Structure 1
C-alpha cells in the first residue's frame, strides 16, 4: 500500500470515528475499514481493565477455528500481547512471535483457522489512559512490514482518541443526569415533602381539638395516610439522590434501611471496593429490594449477604415474609423486580429469585468484577 492510499484510509477512518457516538459500532466500523483498505484479513479488539481482566469487545472476519464456541480460544489462555500490555510494556505496534491462543485453537482442531498463525498487535490508548489492544492478522504471514506496523499505529492512535472522546461524553451525560436528579430531589424535599409534613401536623392537631370520636378517627386516618405518603416521598428522594453513598456502600444501605424502619443484618465477605458505576448499581438494586420487602413482604426484617471474589460480586437479599408465586411462563411481577433485572443486565450480570408463598423471598444478583 502506498502513502497516498494510507492517507486516504486514515482520513476515512477518522471521519467514521468522528461521526459515531456509540462505542461498539464505532470500533466495528473502524476495524472493518482497516481490513478493507489493507492486506490484513482479520482483526479483533480486547479491552483490558485495571485488574488485567480482558474482554473481547469486537472482531471482524475471524476464521471458523477462532470463532468456535463464541471465540472460546481467543478469550482464554496466555498471550504475549496481553501479558506485555498488563505489565505496561507494550508501547507500539509489534509483531507477535507466537500466540498461545491461536496455537491452542489450531491444536484443538475445532475448525479451519484459514492459515492464521501469527498476528500484529498495538495498544489502544489516549495520553496516559490505556484501554486495550488491537490485533490484526493475515493468512500465512509470520511478520508484518514496518510500513504496515506504522499504519497500524496511526489507526490505533485515532481509535484511542475516539474512545476517550466517547468516555468523556458518557461521563458528561452521567453528570447531567446526576444534576437533574439532585434538582428533582431538592424540589420534592422543599415542596411536596414539606407539604406532607404540614398535613401530618395539622391532622395531629385535629385529633386534639375535637371531642367527637368519629372526627378523631378521621384525623387519625389522615395522619396515618400522610405519614405513609411521607415515607414514600423520602424513599423517592433517596432513589433520586443517594444520601451517604459517599461514605461507602454498606453505610448507605444501612441508612436507607433505617429510613424505611427495617431491621437489617449485613454479612460481608471480600474487599468492598467497587467502581462508582458498580457501587451505584448495587445500591439501587438493594434500594428496590428493600422497598419491595417493606411494601409487600409483611415483615420488618431482612438479611443481606455481599460476597466479592476475584471474578464476581454476589448479592443476596433475603426476607422471611409472605413471598410470592413465581411463574416462569409469565412476566416478572411489576413490583420493581424488572428494574432490578435490568440494572444487573446493564453491567453484564444476572438477577434471579426464589420465593414461595408463606416462606419468604431470596434475591440473587451476580455481577462480573
Structure 2
C-alpha cells in the first residue's frame, strides 16, 4: 500500500467517524468538508442542495477566496453554471473535472476581490441510491484539471456524505412521525376529558338559568355559560392546532373548515396551482390558524379575506381584515404571541412576514414563503 493510499484511507475513516457522530445536517457537512480539505491538496469547497425543481441553494462552504465570499457569496448563489445544469439533466453521475465555471468567471470579471488563483473546480453529485440531494464542489489554486486519484477520493467522500444526509433525513422523518403521534394522543385526551367536562359545565349552567327564579342567580349562570362557551371554542381551536382535520382534503378546505369553526366568514382567492411540499403546507395552515385566531380575538370583526398567489419559486399569502387594527412601536416586541408565532414559523422555512395596519382601518398580513 502506498503512502497516498494510506493517507486516503485515514481521511475517509476520519470523515466517516464525523458523519456518524453528527446529528445536525449543516454542521455535519461543514465538518466533513473541512476534514477533506485539510487532508488533501484541495483548498476550498462548497456544497449546493438542489431540489426536485432544480433550484439550487448554497448550504455550506469552507475557505472560499475573497472573490467568492463577496456580498454573502453573491456570485456562487446566482447565475448559471455547468455543474448544476449537468446535475439537473441527470448527466452528472460521478466526480468530474469542470472545464469552465461561469460563477467563478463572473466573480473574477467583477473584480470584487482576490480569487486566490481559483479558476476551475471538480464536482460530484451527493446521492444515496436513487435519491439525490445536490453537489459538492472543490478546488485548488492554479489547477485546471484534477487527477483520477483525486476524483476517486472525492467520489468516496461524496458517497459517505450522501449516505449521512439520507440517514439524517430519515431520522427527521421519524421524529416528525413521533411528534404527530404525540399531538394526536394529546388531542384525543383533551377532547375526551377537558372538552367533555366543559360541555357538561355549559349544560349545567343552562339548566341553572332555566331552574332559577332569582335574576341575580340567572345572570351568574349566564356568565358561567358564556365563559364556558368561550373556553370550549378555545379548546376546539387548540385541538385543531394539535391535530388539524381536513389537510388530507387540501389546504384550502382545511382553512375554510377552521374559519367556520371560529364563526369567521372567510373569502379565499387563489392564483396559481396549490401543490406544496407537506412542510410548506403545514406551515401555511399553522400561520392561517394563528392569523384567524388573531382576527377573532383582536380585530373585533367576524370576516376576513385570504389571497394566495403561487409563482414558480414563491408563495405570497395575504390575510386581510377590516377590524380595529393596531400600531407597533418598532423598538418594542410584537403585540401578540400569535404574530410572533407567525413570524417564527415563516422564518423557519426561509420566508418573510410583513404587515400593514392602522387603527380603525384593519390589518393586512403579508407572508412570502419559498418552496
Q: Give the SS at the match of 1:2.
A: helix
2:298 to 290, 293, 296: 296
Per-residue CA distance 1:262-316 (angstroms, 9 max, x = gap): 0001111111110000000000000000001101110000011111111211111
Matched, 1:359 2:361: yes
TM-score by length of structure 2 reads 0.98
Corresponding residue number in structure 2 for 1:275: 277
Q: How do 1:184-199 and structure 2 match up within 5 A?
A: 184-199=186-201
Corresponding residue number in structure 2 for 1:174: 176
1:152 to 128, 151, 154: 154
Corresponding residue number in structure 2 for 1:48: 50
Q: Give the SS at the match of 2:141.
A: coil
In 1, distance between residues paired with 2:314 and 2:303? 27
Shift of 1:175: 1.0
2:79 to 77, 80, 87: 77
In 2, distance between residues paired with 1:22 and 1:210? 63
In 2, distance between residues paired with 1:177 and 1:54? 29
Corresponding residue number in structure 2 for 1:22: 24
In 1, distance between residues paired with 2:223 and 2:68? 68
In structure 2, list runs of 5 or more residues that go unmatched: none
In 1, distance between residues paired with 2:337 and 2:370? 25
Q: Give the SS at the match of 2:138.
A: strand
TM-score by length of structure 1 reads 0.99
The 8 Å contact of residues 292 and 335 in structure 1, kept in 2 or not, is answered as no
Corresponding residue number in structure 2 for 1:306: 308
In 2, distance between residues paired with 1:69 and 1:322? 42
Corresponding residue number in structure 2 for 1:343: 345
Q: Which moved more, 1:199-208 or 1:8-17?
A: 199-208
Corresponding residue number in structure 1 for 2:117: 115
Corresponding residue number in structure 2 for 1:251: 253
In structure 1, list runs of 5 or more residues that go unmatched: none
In 1, distance between residues paired with 2:64 and 2:17? 25
Instruction: Detail structure 1 runs of 4+ shifted over 3 Å in the superposition.
Output: none
Q: Which moved more, 1:188-197 or 1:304-313?
A: 304-313
- RMSD across aligned C-alpha pairs, in angstroms? 0.9
Matched, 1:220 2:227: no
Q: How many residues in Structure 1 have an aligned counterpart in Structure 2?
A: 369
In 2, distance between residues paired with 1:82 and 1:356? 46
Shift of 1:324: 1.2
